[in-house]
Amino acid sequence: MAEGILLESETARIAEPCTVVIPCYNEATRLRVDAYEAFLRSEISHGVRLLFVNDGSRDRTLAVVEGVRERFPERVSLFDQQPNRGKAEAVRQGMLQAIAEGQSAVTGFWDADLATPLEEIRKFLDLMAVRPELHLVLGARVRLLGHQIHRQPLRHYLGRCFATAVSVLLHLPVYDTQCGAKLFRITPELRQVLAEPFHSRWIFDVEILARYLAFHHGDSRELVAEMYEYPLPEWSDVQGSKVRATDFFRAFGELATIYRRHLAK
pLDDT of residue 177: 93
Which of the residues in the chain have pLDDT under 70? 1-14, 240-246, 265
What pLDDT digit, counting tens, does each position of 7-57 carry? 444 444 457 899 999 999 999 999 999 999 999 999 999 999 999 999 999
The beta-strand segments (E) located in the chain are: 18-24, 48-55, 76-81, 106-110, 136-140, 148-150, 181-185, 227-231, 234-236
What pLDDT digit, counting tens, does each position of 82-102 carry? 999 999 999 999 999 999 999
Domains annotated on the chain, with CATH:
9-262 (3.90.550.10)
pLDDT of residue 9: 40
What is the distance between the alpha carbons of residues 75 and 40, in angstroms, rounded to a whole number?
7
pLDDT of residue 219: 87
pTM: predicted TM-score of the whole model, two decimal places:
0.91
